[in-house]
Amino acid sequence: MTQLTRADFDHAMVPNYAPQAAIPVRGEGSRLWDQEGREYIDFAGGIAVTSLGHCHPALVKALKDQADKVWHLSNVYTNEPALALAKALTERTFADKVYFCSSGGEANEAALKLARRFAHDTHGEKKDKIISFRQSFHGRTFFTVSVGGQPKYSQGFGPIPGGIQHAEFNNLDSVRELMGDDTCAIIVEPLQGEGGIIPGEQAFLEGLRELCDQHDALLIFDEVQSGAGRTGHLYAYQHFGVVPDILTTAKGIGGGFPLGAMLTTDRIAPAMAIGTHGSTYGGNPLACAVGLAALETIDTPETLDGVAHRHQLLRNGLEGIAKRHGVFKEVRGIGLLIGAQMAPDYAGRAKDILNLAMEEGLMVLIAGPDVLRLAPSLVISEEEIQSGLDKLDRAVANFVAASASA
């Protein structure tokens, strides 16, 4: 067969993405190799998805073992991997009940529908307002992209659903101004991802919990990006000590296999009665088998306790690069979700560094035009961290040199 190239993407696929020219074909741990055999250190983690790196032995074994048993049944039946993963999630979190799906967007769609349905059944049809936050991101379905606080993602798709308002993240007064007895839910990322890697402030998140309790509203934590061990706790709500009513998880919980879930309590779950919602691949045996292996590997002292150490290595490296080259004005984040804010002289040019890093053999991310984002594996080695930082340092040096000569 003729080798496929980046040009085949332009020929055969819808142009909603703009992928790099290199096409990775093999991965192991925090390293990838492209079609030409070139090696890359992975600081991107598939956008916080490959929580245990590429082809982790425990996940590979779980997938292969389940592949010889059953792949798909539909929701007319249940299956053992789904039941085992649901039990494991409820045993490790505040939740009593779990709903499975295939992505973070689906999980948030389910959470928002559940919140409105619960309010409708409990308080009446007029309690339907959802409060979200500017610069937030909750998915690409029509409902979730409307709830998200970045209008660029919903422009051009016609009228958005009503009953949605946006407050300012980390500004509790802006929430109080919108909050009322018609509010059914607040949805928040405890650590904003796409909005620029901005941690929620302790008092802010505690205040949201209090406001929801005062107004009989539900608090939804979108932990699609911050969950599955990324903060050094299994979920970020445990880091802050603020317990939501509904939590969504995806990305890292599948370790690279499509899997999402919505977690909630016995009080709220009955609102999602038979026939009210569903997902064709929700609870898929292959996905849940991999998810259980990922959860059991992540939720260990060995993995979670190592996150803080890796965070500090990366933070120190980024701050050193900032000091040498003057490109970053701030390094922020929690655990292994880290952002480096571009300095004013280089505002809007984070993607330039992403592209130059690829040339050096390093994969990184951006969170908007002004933030370089890192979301590596939770078990990335110290040697891989240092190698990646060295590559990033060279990329930044090239960036500064090119900027000076422009």
Average pLDDT for 92-102? 98
User: Is residue 75 predicted with pLDDT exceeding 80?
Assistant: yes
Q: What percent of the chain has pLDDT over 70?
A: 100
State residue 158's pLDDT score. 87
Cα separation values, 300 from 228, 229, 296, Å: 11, 9, 7
Average pLDDT for 334-354? 97
Residue among 337, 306, 319 at smallest CA distance from 392? 319
Task: Round the average pLDDT of the chain to a whole number and report it.
Answer: 97
387 CB-near residues (< 8 Å, 6+ apart)? 41
**Residue 41 phi, psi dihedral angles, 5° rounding:** -85, 135
Angle ∠(100,26,48) on CA atoms, nearest 5 = 40
Average pLDDT for 304-319? 98
pLDDT band at 2 (very low <50, low <70, confident <90, very high): confident
pLDDT band at 365 (very low <50, low <70, confident <90, very high): very high
Catalytic residue among 43, 137, 169, 240: 137
State residue 224's pLDDT score. 98
Average pLDDT for 210-224? 98
Q: What is the pTM of this model?
A: 0.97
Query: Is the CA virtual torsion 376, 378, 382, 383 positive or negative?
Result: negative
State pLDDT tens for residues 314-327: 999 999 999 999 99
Average pLDDT for 211-237? 98
Grouping H, G, I as helix, E, B as strand and the rest as coil, residue 355 is: helix
State residue 405's pLDDT score. 83
State pLDDT tens for residues 156-198: 998 989 999 999 999 999 999 999 999 999 999 999 999 999 9
142 is catalytic: no
Catalytic residue among 222, 245, 352, 370: 222
The answer to whether 211 and 217 are in contact (CB under 8 A) is yes
Catalytic residue among 129, 221, 245, 251: 251
Query: Is the CA virtual torsion 108, 114, 119, 120 positive or negative?
Result: positive
Neighbouring CB atoms inside 10 A of 283's CB total 26
96 is catalytic: no
User: Is residue 1 predicted with pLDDT exceeding 80?
Assistant: no
pLDDT band at 81 (very low <50, low <70, confident <90, very high): very high
400 CB-near residues (< 8 Å, 6+ apart)? 325, 326, 327
Q: What is the set of domains in the chain, with CATH numbers?
A: 6-55+302-405 (3.90.1150.10), 57-298 (3.40.640.10)
What is the C-alpha end-to-end distance of the chain, expressed in Å? 43
Structure tokens at 159: 């009228």
The answer to whether 165 and 179 are in contact (CB under 8 A) is no
State pLDDT tens for residues 325-337: 999 999 999 999 9
Grouping H, G, I as helix, E, B as strand and the rest as coil, residue 60 is: helix
State residue 406's pLDDT score. 72
The answer to whether 280 and 74 are in contact (CB under 8 A) is yes
Bridge-based pairing state of the strands 365-366 and 260-264: unpaired
Average pLDDT for 98-126? 97
User: Is residue 310 predicted with pLDDT exceeding 90?
Assistant: yes
43 is catalytic: no
